[in-house]
């Protein structure tokens, strides 16, 4: 076979074999402030210095949480993610959480809708979920 005919054959072979290679799973990036309604972000959160905190009367307008690395902050609790498992678009988290009156381990099940939207699922209550949107502050 001439060199001119071998080159296209090699390119086709390489491209074809690359389709058979496993594709790495896309790790979900959760860092940010998440509110249950996008239009309420500025009522639930406010900027303070270089960070984001809950607005003073945030619980009157909606709910949300802030994720920074392996830490989750809610209005009444602070958690540290101790275990994370992703299976497709479902992310299972276990976190050690503390409130002003108690400590406990909490399991979270999140369904990733896209990079800026997710839903917290409640596996023990069929069909129950709360959607959250990442706030751009």
Q: Residue 92 is part of a domain; what is its CATH number?
A: 2.40.128
Domain count, the chain: 1
Question: Is residue 15 domain-resident?
Answer: no
49: left (phi over 0), alpha (psi -120 to 50) or beta: left
State the pLDDT at residue 26: 55
State the pLDDT at residue 137: 81
State the pLDDT at residue 124: 84
Question: Is residue 13 domain-resident?
Answer: no
Contact predicate 65/72, CB 8 Å: yes
Question: Is residue 22 domain-resident?
Answer: no
Question: Is residue 3 domain-resident?
Answer: no
Question: Is residue 20 domain-resident?
Answer: no
Question: Is residue 50 domain-resident?
Answer: yes
State the pLDDT at residue 1: 52
Residues of the chain below pLDDT 50: 3-25
State the pLDDT at residue 48: 94
Question: Is residue 73 domain-resident?
Answer: yes
Burial class (CB in 10 A: 0-12, 13-18, 19+), 136: exposed
pTM of the model: 0.76
Report the percentage of the chain scoring pLDDT > 90: 68
**Residue 90: domain span:** 30-134
């Amino acid at each position: 076979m001439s060199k001119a005919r071998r080159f296209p054959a090699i390119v086709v072979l390489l491209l074809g074999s690359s389709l058979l290679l496993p594709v790495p799973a896309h790790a979900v990036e959760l860092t940010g402030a998440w509110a249950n309604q996008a239009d309420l972000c500025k009522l639930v959160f406010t900027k303070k210095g270089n960070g984001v905190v809950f607005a003073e009367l945030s619980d009157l307008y909606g709910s949300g949480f802030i994720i920074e690395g392996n830490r989750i902050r809610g209005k009444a609790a602070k958690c540290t993610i101790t275990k994370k498992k992703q299976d497709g678009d479902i992310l299972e988290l276990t976190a050690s959480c503390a409130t002003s009156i108690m400590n406990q381990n909490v399991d979270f099940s999140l369904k990733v809708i896209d990079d800026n939207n997710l839903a917290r699922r409640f596996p023990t209550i069929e069909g129950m979920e709360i959607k959250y949107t990442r706030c751009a502050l």
